[in-house]
Structure 1
């Protein structure tokens, strides 16, 4: 449970322990990067908004640069523990979906926000590298973790919880972030390959989510959540809903110059799909918020699971922003702005709790 919550009791001899640095820590990178990406996607332009987005992108990029080598050291120094976490502990294995999502999110921010800081050429190159690595990682996790659940992990569908969605949502993130690179590729085969590849990634992620989401909801109704500190994970259900909405709109934009014959159909589908799915997301947001308020009244402490408040809400920001851009409906503009305020507040709470936990020795300590 320590790797899941990121919290251990503080003792007088507590010290920094790299062995506790699990893949769940990439959730902090995801949650930070999505704030910047959400700021860039908003259909309103306020003074300082893009500067704020650039700051959040920079924080996410720095966090990724720090976390990746730290995780490499962890994997080399604690190979037996890392192997056991992946192969024998399904509660930690699902968090291997976080690293590729973090890479993909930072990569998109590098292109949409970092280009003003480092230049367009370096931004495109870095995004292409992060998207390529992140996509391969996402596909490996989306196939590998379910394979382990089928062949090795001792799991029951009646005990499923929203963290099970993390491995299979990663291809959806790749499908939503890849289209931004299409205009920077040579016209013709290169652009078509990326566009159709992102469509395939969308199919992989969406079908996996459609298969798994009913299992997760059944597990929640049947067994509830196994621990109070898992209550923030309810927000993870928003992730595939908001991300798939974002993806269909990004694909529709990319289809316009690459496959103009498909563009009208893609745009109509994106609008219809987005309205329906985002409506479901807003209903679930009410349910998840009510459950978390109840958990807070019951004394739920801060853990790393609180980062679940950030990225899923951020995907709804980008999804609502895309709907506002394509439909021109002011209601979606207001929804995107309101969700962004919620996202910024959630990030402040999660980041503040993490900083306080690290400073006080309660995180990554033994």
Structure 2
């Protein structure tokens, strides 16, 4: 793995023009996945419910802050930046993560009718915004000459989150044409994100082979690759539980198991690279939240497979990874709270030589 050897660390240039960027919503994603993944862990439902409540409050706080700070000029500036633009995938995923948690956990507090209303609202907003990011941000990159990095997946993962979250909502719909339309729509969203991921991941792999890791502050974004992988496993198996098409269960298990194997391989690679880089110095940035949400999707994917296939392998891995997820969340949350959030909201800007 000599091609993956970290490059000598150079202090990254930090953007100051847009101090409150969309990447702050990664904290909502990370906190939310701790809650939703915990919903399937034995004996953790109450604790997971409190984490969801904290996450919902965090989402409200950040949305209010964004509405007060952002203008159309600010948004255009962020979209024009080749690094910051990628993180516009975070707000829609934050919305849908809180929405799904409302049904899985918040229903114990506010009742299922209110939880479903919250989830439908956040899922609709998140899906529309996610479809916009999956089109506009890749268009921005065409012809730019930028080298791919893990953050390129951020704007195309939201449709996969929509597919998984939509499956939860579809399970509460009565049988009929509308339920079938929702499930088919979720499969279409699944395809949007899956094939976009299949285009981007080889580019990331090629960059690692040809150019190495680049600056240390971008190493955490390697974990983002786990996001579409784990979320697609979750979506495929959640959709298989809403029976409107023949062969859904078989597809969920077969696709999920194959993808699960590659996801574990990538996790080992990303973990090895992260440890090597940390030994040389891994400066804190909001990109550290990349350690949390993607790992959480692998937990939910493993739990979804365990629900379809009674296997100690899937359930055991889910428990072990959930322990790692909670540990990562605690570390990143403490570092975030100990940092001036607005001052560090923008990711390290890559110098032209590192792109």
Match of 1:20 in 2: 19
Give the secondary-structure state (helix, strand or coil) at the position aligned to 1:155.
coil
TM-score of the aligned structures, taking structure 2 as reference length: 0.90
State the alpha-carbon separation in 2 of the partners of residues 7 and 347 from structure 1: 26
Q: Which runs of 5+ in 1 are unaligned?
A: 10-16
- Report if aligned partners of 2:24, 2:345 keep a CA contact under 8 Å in 1: no
Determine the structure 2 residue equivalent to 1:317. Answer: 299
- In the other structure, the counterpart of 2:145 is 155
Which deviations, in whole Å up to 9, do the C-alpha atoms of 1:182-208 show, x marking residues without a partner?
133343122111111101111111111
* Equivalent in the alignment of 1:341: 323
- SS of equivalent to 1:20: coil
User: Do residues 83 (structure 1) and 76 (structure 2) align?
Assistant: yes
Are 1:284 and 2:266 an aligned pair? yes
1:73 Cα offset (Å): 1.8
Say which SS state the counterpart of residue 357 (structure 1) adopts: coil
Partner deviation per Cα, 1:166-192 (whole Å, 9 max, x = no partner): 111110110011011113334312211
How far apart in 1 are the matches of 2:293 and 2:134? 18
Mapped contact 1:160–1:220 kept (Cα < 8 A): no
Residues 1:52 and 1:155: Cα distance change in structure 2 (over 3 Å): farther
- Per-residue CA deviations over 1:122-176 (Å, capped at 9, x if unaligned) read 100000000011001111110111111126xx233xx210100111111011001
> Shift in Å at residue 220 of structure 1?
2.2
SS of corresponding position for 2:329 = helix
Paired with 1:160 and 1:319, the residues of 2 have a C-alpha distance of 26
Which region of structure 1 is more displaced relative to structure 2, 121-130 or 180-189? 180-189
**Greater displacement, 219-228 / 168-177:** 219-228
* Separation in 2, partners of 1:186, 1:66: 35
Alpha-carbon shift at residue 224 of structure 1 (Å): 2.4
Which residue number in structure 2 is paired with residue 178 of structure 1? 166
Counterparts of 2:82 and 2:68, CA distance in 1: 22
Q: Is the 8 A contact 1:95 1:166 kept in 2?
A: yes
Does 2:124 match 1:132?
Answer: yes
Deviations 1:52-102 (A, max 9, x none): 1111111111111011121122222xx43431220x211110100111111
**Alpha-carbon distance between aligned partners in 2 of 1:299 and 1:149, rounded to the nearest angstrom:** 30
| Corresponding position of 2:4 | none
Shift, 1:7, TM fit: 9.8
The correspondence for 2:204, drawn from 216, 219, 234, is 216
Indicate whether 1:293 and 2:292 are aligned: no
Quick check: 189-198 or 107-116, which moved more?
189-198
Cα distance in 1 between the residues matched to 2:179 and 2:162: 16
Alignment of 1:220-299 (within 5 A): 220-255=208-243, 259=244, 262=246, 265-299=247-281
Separation of aligned partners in 2, 1:7 and 1:70: 25
Note the alpha carbon deviations across 1:280-313, whole angstroms, 9 max, x for none: 1111111111111111111112111110000000
> Match for residue 12 of structure 1?
none
* In structure 2, C-alpha distance between the alignment counterparts of 1:116 and 1:230, rounded to whole Å: 39
CA distance in 1, matches of 2:33, 2:196: 23
Q: C-alpha distance in 1, partners of 2:320/2:275?
A: 19
Structure 1 segments of 4+ aligned residues over 6 angstroms from their partners: 5-9
